[in-house]
C-alpha cells in the first residue's frame, strides 16, 4: 500500500509538471497548467502558476508574475520568463526571472533578466541583463550588462558593462565599461574604460581610460590615458597620459605627462612638468621644479651645462 501511494504521487507530480489536463489542475492565465495544493494562492504548486506564495515546483519557467517563497525549476527556463521571485530560487539547470531577490542558486548558472539582489550563485556562471547587488559568485564567470554592487567573484572572469562597486575578484580578469570602485583583484588584469578607484591589484596589469586612483599594484604595468594618483607600483612600467600624483615606482620606466610627488624607476620620463623628486638611472623632464637623483639627469628648463648633469640636478623657481 505504501509503495502504491508513492507511485501514485510520482505519477501525479510528473503529469502536473508536464502540463496536466483541466481535470487535474487549473489553467493559468498566461502560464501553464498546475496542480495547486493550497488556498488562495498559498501552499504548494506543481506546475506553471504565474503567482504563488509558498512552494512552487515547475518543469520550465515561463510567463512568471510573482513567487514569494521557494521557486524550483527542474529544466531549462523559457527565453523570457519575467516576473519576480522573492525568497529562494533554485534551478537544476538555471533559475531565471525578471527579478531575483533573496538566494538564487543554479547548478549551471543563474540568469536574471533585470536584476538579482541578495546572494546569487551559479555553478558555471551568473549572467544578468541588469544589475547584480549583494554577493555574486560564478564558477567560471560573472557577467552583468548593468552595474554590480557588493562582492562579485568569478572563477575566471568578471565583466560588468555598467561598472562594479565593492570587492571584485577574478582568476583571470576584471573588465568593465564603467568605473571600478573598491577592491579590484585579478590574476591577469584589471581593465576599465572609466576610472579605477580603490585598491587595484593585478598579476599582469591595470589599464584604465579614465584614470587610476588609490593603491595600484601590477606585476607588469600600470597604464592610464588620464592621471594615476596615490601609491602606484609596477614591475616593468607605468604610463600615464596625464599626471602621476603621489608615489610611483617601477623597475623599468615611468612615462607621464606631468609628475607631482615621488617617482622611482630605472627611467623617469616626464614629458611636461616635474614637481617633486625623481630617483632613477636616468631622469628626464622638460620642466623641472624639484630634484632629480640619478646617474644621468636632464632638465629642459635649465641652462647650459645644468641641463645635463650626473648624480644631482635641481631647479627651483
pLDDT in tens, 243-269: 999 999 999 999 999 999 999 999 999
Please check whether residue 291 lies inside any domain of the structure.
yes
Please check whether residue 8 lies inside any domain of the structure.
no
- Res 8: pLDDT: 34
The rounded distance, in Å, linking the Cα atoms of 44 and 57 is 8
Question: Into how many domains does the chain fold?
Answer: 1
Please check whether residue 308 lies inside any domain of the structure.
yes
Please check whether residue 289 lies inside any domain of the structure.
yes
Alpha-carbon distance values, 283 to 2, 61, 223, 266, 279 (Å): 88, 65, 20, 8, 7
Please check whether residue 94 lies inside any domain of the structure.
no
How many residues are recorded in the chain?
317
Q: What residue spans of the chain are helical by DSSP H? A: 2-18
Cβ-based neighbour number of residue 41 at 10 Å: 15
Please check whether residue 60 lies inside any domain of the structure.
no
Please check whether residue 220 lies inside any domain of the structure.
yes
Please check whether residue 149 lies inside any domain of the structure.
no
281: containing domain: 216-317
Query: What confidence tens digit (pLDDT) does each residue in 43-99 have?
Result: 999 998 999 999 999 999 888 999 999 999 999 888 889 999 999 999 999 999 999
CA neighbor of 187 nearest in space, from 228, 254, 141, 224: 141
Amino acid at each position: 500500500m505504501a509503495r502504491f501511494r508513492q507511485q501514485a504521487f510520482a505519477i501525479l507530480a510528473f503529469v502536473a509538471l508536464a502540463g496536466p489536463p483541466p481535470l487535474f489542475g487549473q489553467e493559468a492565465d498566461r502560464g501553464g497548467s498546475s496542480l495547486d495544493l493550497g488556498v488562495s494562492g498559498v501552499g504548494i504548486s506543481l506546475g506553471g502558476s504565474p503567482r504563488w506564495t509558498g512552494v512552487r515546483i515547475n518543469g520550465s519557467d515561463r510567463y512568471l508574475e510573482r513567487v514569494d517563497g521557494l521557486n524550483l525549476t527542474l529544466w531549462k527556463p523559457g527565453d523570457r520568463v519575467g516576473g519576480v521571485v522573492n525568497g529562494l530560487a533554485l534551478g537544476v539547470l538555471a533559475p531565471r526571472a525578471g527579478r531575483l531577490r533573496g538566494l538564487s542558486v543554479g547548478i549551471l548558472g543563474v540568469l536574471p533578466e533585470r536584476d538579482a539582489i541578495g546572494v546569487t550563485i551559479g555553478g558555471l556562471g551568473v549572467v544578468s541583463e541588469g544589475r547584480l547587488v549583494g554577493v555574486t559568485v560564478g564558477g567560471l564567470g560573472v557577467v552583468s550588462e548593468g552595474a554590480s554592487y557588493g562582492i562579485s567573484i568569478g572563477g575566471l572572469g568578471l565583466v560588468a558593462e555598467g561598472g562594479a562597486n565593492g570587492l571584485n575578484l577574478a582568476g583571470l580578469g576584471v573588465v568593465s565599461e564603467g568605473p571600478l570602485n573598491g577592491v579590484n583583484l585579478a590574476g591577469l588584469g584589471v581593465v576599465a574604460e572609466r576610472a579605477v578607484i580603490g585598491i587595484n591589484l593585478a598579476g599582469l596589469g591595470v589599464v584604465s581610460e579614465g584614470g587610476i586612483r588609490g593603491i595600484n599594484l601590477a606585476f607588469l604595468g600600470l597604464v592610464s590615458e588620464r592621471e594615476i594618483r596615490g601609491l602606484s607600483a609596477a614591475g616593468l612600467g607605468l604610463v600615464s597620459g596625464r599626471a602621476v600624483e603621489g608615489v610611483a615606482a617601477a623597475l623599468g620606466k615611468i612615462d607621464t605627462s606631468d609628475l607631482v610627488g615621488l617617482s622611482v624607476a630605472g627611467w623617469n620620463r616626464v614629458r611636461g612638468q616635474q614637481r617633486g623628486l625623481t630617483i632613477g638611472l636616468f631622469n628626464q623632464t622638460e620642466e623641472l621644479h624639484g630634484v632629480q637623483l640619478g646617474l644621468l639627469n636632464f632638465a629642459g628648463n635649465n641652462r647650459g651645462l645644468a641641463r645635463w648633469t650626473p648624480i644631482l640636478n635641481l631647479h627651483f623657481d
